[in-house]
A = this chain, B = another copy of it.
Amino acid sequence: MIVLFTDFGTRDPYVGQVKARLAVEAPGVAVIDLLHEVPDFNAHAGAHLLAALVGGFPPGAVFLAVVDPGVGTPRGTVVMQAGGRWYVGPDNGLLSVVAARAPDARLWRITWRPDELSATFHGRDLFAPIVAALARGEFPRERLAMVDAPGVEFDAGDLPRIIYIDHYGNAWIGVRGEPRVARVSAAGTVFAYGTCFGAVEKGQRLWFVNSVGLIELAVNRGSAAATYGLRVGDRVDVERVN
């Protein structure tokens, strides 16, 4: 299984070009679009999103993970194996939270350069062929050089900021949740805990532990983002109760 995690956008022609390459080089492998709307250029939010999301994917899954505003500059590129899954992407911190939280992460720098390499679309030209090889069960040793750690590393602890806002207007926080042990406030407003949306009245706000284990802010049958003016990057206060 190949899993795509990018900021390429769902409506642009970038994902289709990557998939065409994958269909040619790894025919018959299932390709799953996990997320193409990582906040643009935001590898930091992306790193925390990716770490939260990978748990649901089976061993052997190969992630093409691209949030890469430095594409075409001399920034590095990496392949990682962690928790039985593979990851391919830029070395700009995007994979570093998964790496730091996995006891068994191994990393390689990509030394290979394809004959046809655009300056602005390494997802298609550089990463997709590596992903396809891994998905075929091949380890492209001659294209890689082992390294000890990512060149760029973000703090792998919780990130008390909004890292994603979904189309309902729910805000994902980069903090792993434990029910009933925290006080959560954002935009000057305290959110009450609920197990699910219907735990509060229509139009009322709540925080809950979402389906990938993060704290999430919502309004039942409404938009927390619109109601409280929430934006990606906003700070959120999460207080642990003793």
Residue contact A197 to B71, C-beta cutoff 8 Å:
yes
List 28 A-B residue pairs with CB atoms under 8 Å apart, sorted by A's residue number: A1-B20, A9-B166, A10-B11, A11-B36, A12-B35, A12-B167, A13-B53, A16-B32, A16-B33, A16-B35, A17-B53, A20-B34, A20-B58, A27-B30, A41-B221, A56-B124, A69-B197, A69-B220, A70-B197, A71-B196, A72-B196, A72-B199, A73-B199, A75-B198, A119-B196, A120-B197, A121-B210, A124-B211
Contacts of A12 in B (CB 8 A): 35, 37, 166-167
Q: Assess whether A3 is interfacial by the CB under 8 Å rule.
A: yes
Output the least CB separation between A1 and chain B (Å). 6
Given contacts A9-B167, A20-B32, A120-B196, 5 further A-B contacts (CB under 8 A): A12-B37, A12-B167, A16-B34, A21-B56, A72-B197
Contacts of A34 in B (CB 8 A): 13, 16-17, 20
Which residue of B has the minimal Cβ distance to A118? B211
Residue contact A73 to B32, C-beta cutoff 8 Å:
no
Number of copies: 3
Binding site for B on A (CB under 8 A): 1, 3, 9-17, 19-21, 23-24, 27, 30, 32-37, 40-41, 49, 53, 56-58, 61, 69-73, 75, 118-121, 124-125, 166-168, 195-199, 208, 210-211, 220-221
Complex alpha-carbon distance, A167 and B41, angstroms: 12
Contacts of A13 in B (CB 8 A): 34-35, 49, 53
Complex alpha-carbon distance, A44 and B159, angstroms: 39
Complex alpha-carbon distance, A12 and B33, angstroms: 10
Complex alpha-carbon distance, A220 and B120, angstroms: 12
Q: Given A12-B35, A37-B11, A211-B118, verify A57-B20 contact (CB < 8 Å).
A: yes
Residue contact B211 to A121, C-beta cutoff 8 Å:
yes
Contacts of A72 in B (CB 8 A): 195-199
Contacts of A70 in B (CB 8 A): 197-198
